[in-house]
Amino acid sequence: MKKNLRKEEKSKKVIEILEDLFPNPAVPLIHKDPYTLLISVLLSAQCTDERVNKITPILFNKADNPYKMVTLSIEEIQEIIKPCGLSAAKAKAIFNLSKILIENHDAKVPKSFEELEKLPGVGHKTASVVMSQAWGVPAFPVDTHIHRLAHRWGLSSGKNVVQTENDLKRIFPKEKWNTLHLQIIFFGRKFCKARGHIEHECPICRIIN
């Protein structure tokens, strides 16, 4: 039934399947507010959500807001987050962004891409997750996993995550972006892995490819 589907048709099928399999996806990172979400997303760079979720309770037990975070030294933060990798850079970013939040934003996480992306260690993808999941602003955070699936499903030929993000924003309705980002991540982990993938057993690939 499936060959030569146009991107618009593919996108509708993808939404249908994802809505059925993951109707109410929750953010996979443990957090309780925009600040702890921001720190968790920053820590997740080149690290699994599972590992981040083991480390953040320890960190947040000591410091779950900017005021408490800056009472820790960068070395103390680094020691706690070491299992997440890139700990020196991440610890420095966490300390410095916490200081900036206190000095420039009344210790609150900004509600704009521009201000978020000015913070140390916060790139466009991290800002997109915070804007979408903390503030409900339509965004389509694209990591390497979503980038890979968009290619596999024939939804984008973008050579990098920025191009893929633009492609996905064009073909999916804006009101679906925030949920789709999570649904695609969960789907990829369960059904559409990078290795050992069997196309005819994948609920999406067997329909649209």
Catalytically active residues, by annotation: 125, 143
Name, in order, each residue with C-beta under 8 angstroms of 175's C-beta and a sequence gap of 6 or more.
Answer: 138
Instruction: Give the integer Cα–Cα distance in Å for 185 and 66.
Output: 29
Tokens of 67: 């005021």
Instruction: Give the integer Cα–Cα distance in Å for 141 and 129.
Output: 6
Contact between 150 and 158 (Cβ < 8 Å): yes
Q: Is 91 exposed, middle or buried (0-12, 13-18, 19+ CB in 10 A)?
A: buried
